[in-house]
Amino acid sequence: MNCVLDTHFLLWIATRARRLAEFPWMDDYLPWGVSPVSFLEIEFLGEIGRLDVKINAFVDTVMNDSRFVVDELSMMTVIQQALGLDWTRDPFDRLLAAHSRARRKPLCTTDRLIRRHHTYIPPELAL
């Protein structure tokens, strides 16, 4: 695993979104790490109507795609890393940044707040 994907990148890659053309360097970070936190965020987005996805099928697709490594860290490890990340109130952003921080791997995200404050960002996304 060479990076941790935020939920947007995971969705874009899994759905082959056109937006990926803006990030031709992404393959340099294969295999991509996926935090289980993203699966929960995708479920929430579905519940509030912002995303139409069958979460169980989506998880199976990601789990069976060799480009992805679903990285299971202990919840305590993630929480310990998240405790000091007071620059965000979004629980998913905080947990994904904490996952990246615990692994000391870059977090691929387009979120400007995360990119401004998180230590581990790919150089291609640095502000």
CATH number at residue 66: 3.40.50.1010
95 pLDDT higher than 80: yes
Which structural domain range is residue 104 located in?
A: 3-125
pTM of the model: 0.95
Yes or no: say if 91 and 7 are a contact pair by the CB < 8 Å rule. Answer: no
pLDDT digits (tens, 9 = 90+) for 96-121: 999 999 999 999 999 999 999 999 99
> How many separate domains does the chain show?
1
Could you tell me the pLDDT band of residue 1, with boundaries at 50, 70 and 90?
Answer: very high
What average pLDDT does the structure give for the chain?
96
Yes or no: say if 34 and 69 are a contact pair by the CB < 8 Å rule. Answer: yes
Q: Mapping DSSP to helix (H, G, I), strand (E, B) and coil, where does residue 104 land?
A: coil
How large is the average pLDDT for residues 22-41? 97
Query: How many whole angstroms separate alpha carbon 105 and alpha carbon 97?
Result: 10
127 pLDDT higher than 80: no
